[in-house]
Structure 1
Amino acid sequence: MASNHHPGSESGSDADELEELECEVQEMAEKIREYRATLPEKLKNTLPSIIAAQRPVFADGLEPGTSGAPNLGQIASDKDALGDQTFQKIHLLKDKMSRNVAAVPIVMKRLKECTSNIDKLDSQNTLIHPVFKRKWTS
């Protein structure tokens, strides 16, 4: 799309662009409000079924263990009942979950740092090079 630059029309195109951006911001705000209203209910409805689908199938009479000191005899019988490969997968999954939970504070700290850096950049009101601006296709 070629743009014609006339000395007097530049402020008009800026106003049009500003109006278009404000309209897009309003649309985004509306989507965010809609997501905030509907997403918790969707999560509440779908999360239990997803978790239930991923829950391992235990042999007859076996139930998931409680937190506390593990019973070594129970672990051996679980391993025999589930098979080595399934037991290893469960063990690997537990290890990954533990590492992910341990990494949450680090990720949150990094997120806060990035957010504060973005806020600092926003408050400086510096000129952003056009290369880094989003190109609208509509």
Structure 2
Amino acid sequence: MALNESGPDPEDEDLERQVDEMAKKVLEYRATLPDQLKNTVASILAVQRPVFLDGSGPGTSGAPNFAAEQVGSNKWALLADGDQTFERMQLHKDKFPSNVAALPIVLKRAEECSSKIDKLDPQSRIIHSAFQKKRTS
């Protein structure tokens, strides 16, 4: 295999151009992929939240919202620490009422599942001991 001293090979130039294009694509994906992943996960989690059938939404209990006033007064102190800290606190503040509002529905579903398990006839089916209730007498 002899070296080509007359100049760069067109095939080598083409390969170098392709490598440069791939490097640009990798940099672009590294820049955009985390945001896309965050948005996708957020939308998936939003879809999986339970539907409120009784017409009440999150945070509609009628109780005064003291947390909003407190966050408003502490906003300037949090901004001094950084916008990222404030954004995290705001995100947690926004999630908390919806999680609390969904708790009765989740508990109701858990009770329904527990009652279905209790209705199973243990004599007709073999239930693994890990799934049996411990009897306290």
TM-score, normalization: structure 1?
A: 0.37
Q: Which has the higher contact order (CA 8 A, sep 6+)?
A: 2
